[in-house]
């Protein structure tokens, strides 16, 4: 017997006892007032009628109330599960399917939101060097694994305080809110070092080496998002011209020998 069934029986029994008491009370007060006599048959009817009527009716009513309560609880549970699934789908739609980082649209939307008036931050554009050679030499499955590992290295170096996204192909972006360009140099260096430490091996046992080029652009509240992106892209181009495997802003701020 379940706890809810026991509760229904208890409440129906209590309601029945109250009905018997009310019936007996009415009998001993009303019947004499009408000139009648409360005899054995009257006492029996005052007890049997509530037992035969009040208990089944009360049990049915309490059962219906419990079922309604259970239904409301199930609806609330399903609504919570639906809301959680909806949130999960929304978050999944914001993510790149291969790397788990923010996709291009979500990253740019979050970047625009993060550029609050009066604030500052630094945008890093990150591009894997000569990545086409990885796909051509080792195949796309190895290339996909390399991109996943690269994304993990970037996110690990940046930490929870920054926005990380995959812009497409082997291009990534990081935004460091409330971080001046000079402070972002250390983060860029950490990304370079994290990528350099990656140990990726092809199915044939060949090592797959990766390096990245980084362009950094600082924002102090005066420039538009388009200007910030253009500046970071320009610095990335400079990093490639200077030999890749390095991070560049106004000057070469970090390089891997």
- Rounded distance between C-alpha atoms, residue 134 and residue 119, angstroms: 40
- Catalytic-labelled residue, pool 74, 120, 160, 170: 170
pLDDT band of residue 250 (cuts 50, 70, 90) is low
252 pLDDT more than 70: no
Biggest CA-to-CA distance, the chain:
116
pLDDT digits (tens, 9 = 90+) for 139-171: 999 999 999 999 999 999 999 889 999 999 999
User: Residue 95's beta-bridge partner residues?
Assistant: 102
According to the model, what pLDDT value does residue 200 have?
92
By CB neighbour count within 10 A (0-12 exposed, 13-18 middle, 19+ buried), where does 1 fall? Answer: exposed
Whether the predicted pLDDT of 70 surpasses 50: yes
User: What is the overall mean pLDDT for the chain?
Assistant: 83
Calpha distance 212→242 (Å, rounded): 13
Confidence bin at 254 (pLDDT 50/70/90): very low
The pTM of this model reads 0.70
- What is the CB neighbour count within 10 angstroms for residue 215? 24
pLDDT the model gives residue 249: 79
Q: How confident is the model at residue 193 (pLDDT cuts 50, 70, 90)?
A: very high
Q: Is the pLDDT of residue 7 over 80?
A: no
Q: What is the mean pLDDT of residues 116-138?
A: 92
Active site residue 231: no
Q: How remote is the C-alpha of 113 from its chain's centroid?
A: 19
- 30-49 tens-digit pLDDT: 556 655 555 556 566 666 66
Which string of DSSP letters, residue by residue, matches 123-189? Answer: EEEEEETTHHHHHHHH-HHHHHHHHHHHHHHHHHHH-TTSEEEEEETTEEEEEEET--HHHHHHHHH
pLDDT in tens, 93-112: 899 999 999 999 999 999 99
- Please give the Cα distance from 99 to 134 (Å, whole number): 17
């Amino acid at each position: 017997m379940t706890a809810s069934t026991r509760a229904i029986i208890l409440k129906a029994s209590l309601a029945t006892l109250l009905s018997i008491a009310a019936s007996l009370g009415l009998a001993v007060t009303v019947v004499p007032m009408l000139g009648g006599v409360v005899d054995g048959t009257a006492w029996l009817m005052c007890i049997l009628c509530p037992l035969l009527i009040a208990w089944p009716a009360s049990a049915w009513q309490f059962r219906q109330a419990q079922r309604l309560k259970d239904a409301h609880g199930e609806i609330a549970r399903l609504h919570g599960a639906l809301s959680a699934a909806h949130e999960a789908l929304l978050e999944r739609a914001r993510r790149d399917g291969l790397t788990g980082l923010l996709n291009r649209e979500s990253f740019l939307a979050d970047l625009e939101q993060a550029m609050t008036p009066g604030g500052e931050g630094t945008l890093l554009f990150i591009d894997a060097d000569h990545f086409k050679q990885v796909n051509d030499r080792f195949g796309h499955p190895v290339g996909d694994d390399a991109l996943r590992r690269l994304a993990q290295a970037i996110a690990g170096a940046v930490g929870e305080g920054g926005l990380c996204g995959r812009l497409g192909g082997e291009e990534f972006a990081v935004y460091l809110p409330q971080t001046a360009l000079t402070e972002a140099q250390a983060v860029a260096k950490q990304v370079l070092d994290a990528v350099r430490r990656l140990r990726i091996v092809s199915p044939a046992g060949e090592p797959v080496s990766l390096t990245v080029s980084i362009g950094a652009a600082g924002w102090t509240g005066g420039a538009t998002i388009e200007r910030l992106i253009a500046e970071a892209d320009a610095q990335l181009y400079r990093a490639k011209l200077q030999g890749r495997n390095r991070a560049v802003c106004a000057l070469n701020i970090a390089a891997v020998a």
